[in-house]
Structure 1
Amino acid sequence: MLDWIPDFQNPDRLWTLVLLPVLIIAYLILLRLKGRVALRYTNTGVLGRIVGSQRRWTRHLFVAMSLASLIALGLAYANPLGVEKQPRERATVVLVVDTSLSMSATDVSPNRLAAAQTAAVAFMNDLPSSFNVAVVGLDGDPSIAIPPTTDRGATQRAIEALQLSDGTAIGDSITQALKAVDQAPVGDDEEEAPAMIVMLSDGTNTEGASATEATAEARDREIPIFTIAYGTENGYVDVDGQRENVAPDPEALEQIATATGGKSVAADDLTSLKDAYRQIGSVLGYEEVSKPITATYASIALGFAVVAALGAVFMAARWPR
Structure 2
Amino acid sequence: MLDNVSFANPEFFWLLSLLPLALLWYFFRRKQQVASLKISSIKGFTANSILPKLRPVLFALRLLALAAIIVAMARPQTEDISTRTKTTKGIDIVMAIDVSSSMLARDLKPNRLSALKEVAADFIRERPNDRIGLVAYAGEGYTKTPITSDKSIVLGALREITYGQLNDGTAIGMGLATAVNRLKESKAISKVIILLTDGVNNSGFIEPQTAAELAIEFGIKVYTIGLGTNGNALSPIAYNSDGSYRYGMRQVEIDEDLLNNIAKTTGGKYFRATDNEKLEAIYDEINKLEKTEIEEFKYYRYEEKFRPWVLLAGALLVMEWILRNTLFRSFI
Q: In the alignment, what sits opposite 2:265?
A: 259
Q: Secondary structure at the match of 1:226?
A: strand
Contact preservation (8 Å) 2:141, 2:171 = yes
1:161 and 1:147 map into 2 onto residues whose CA distance is: 15
1:227-246 correspondence to structure 2 within 5 Å: 227-233=224-230, 234-240=232-238, 243-246=249-252
Q: Secondary structure at the match of 1:133?
A: strand
**Deviation string, structure 1 residues 176-218 (Cα, Å, up to 9, x no partner):** 101111465xxxxxx4442110111111111112101111111
Q: In the alignment, what sits opposite 1:207?
A: 203
**Deviation string, structure 1 residues 17-43 (Cα, Å, up to 9, x no partner):** xxxxxxxxxxxxxxxxxxxxxxxxxxx
Contact preservation (8 Å) 1:167, 1:206 = yes
Where structure 1 has 5 or more consecutive residues not aligned to the other structure, the ranges are 1-86, 185-190, 288-321
1:229 and 1:197 map into 2 onto residues whose CA distance is: 14
**Which structure has more strand as a fraction of its residues?**
2
Structure 2 vs 1, CA of residues 243 and 274 (structure 1 numbering), >3 Å: closer, same or farther? closer
> Alignment identity in percent?
29
Where structure 2 has 5 or more consecutive residues not aligned to the other structure, the ranges are 1-86, 239-245, 294-332
Aligned-partner residue type, residue 126 of structure 2? D
Structure 2 vs 1, CA of residues 122 and 263 (structure 1 numbering), >3 Å: closer, same or farther? same
2:125 and 2:208 map into 1 onto residues whose CA distance is: 29
Q: In the alignment, what sits opposite 1:220?
A: 217
Q: CA RMSD in A?
A: 2.0
Q: Does 1:91 align with 2:91?
A: yes
Contact preservation (8 Å) 1:232, 1:248 = no
TM-score (ref. length: structure 2):
0.55
State the Cα distance separating 1:95 from its structure 2 match: 0.5
Aligned length: 195
Q: In the alignment, what sits opposite 1:173?
A: 175
Q: Secondary structure at the match of 1:171?
A: helix
1:1-321 correspondence to structure 2 within 5 Å: 89-127=89-127, 129-165=128-164, 166-182=168-184, 184=186, 191-208=187-204, 209-233=206-230, 234-240=232-238, 243-286=249-292
1:199 and 1:282 map into 2 onto residues whose CA distance is: 17
Aligned-partner residue type, residue 138 of structure 2? D
Aligned-partner residue type, residue 159 of structure 1? L
Contact preservation (8 Å) 1:215, 1:260 = yes
State the Cα distance separating 1:247 from its structure 2 match: 3.7
**Which structure has more helix as a fraction of its residues?**
1
**Deviation string, structure 1 residues 224-256 (Cα, Å, up to 9, x no partner):** 100111110222423237753234333221111
State the Cα distance separating 1:160 from its structure 2 match: 1.2
Contact preservation (8 Å) 2:192, 2:220 = yes
Structure 2 vs 1, CA of residues 232 and 257 (structure 1 numbering), >3 Å: closer, same or farther? same
Q: Secondary structure at the match of 2:236?
A: strand
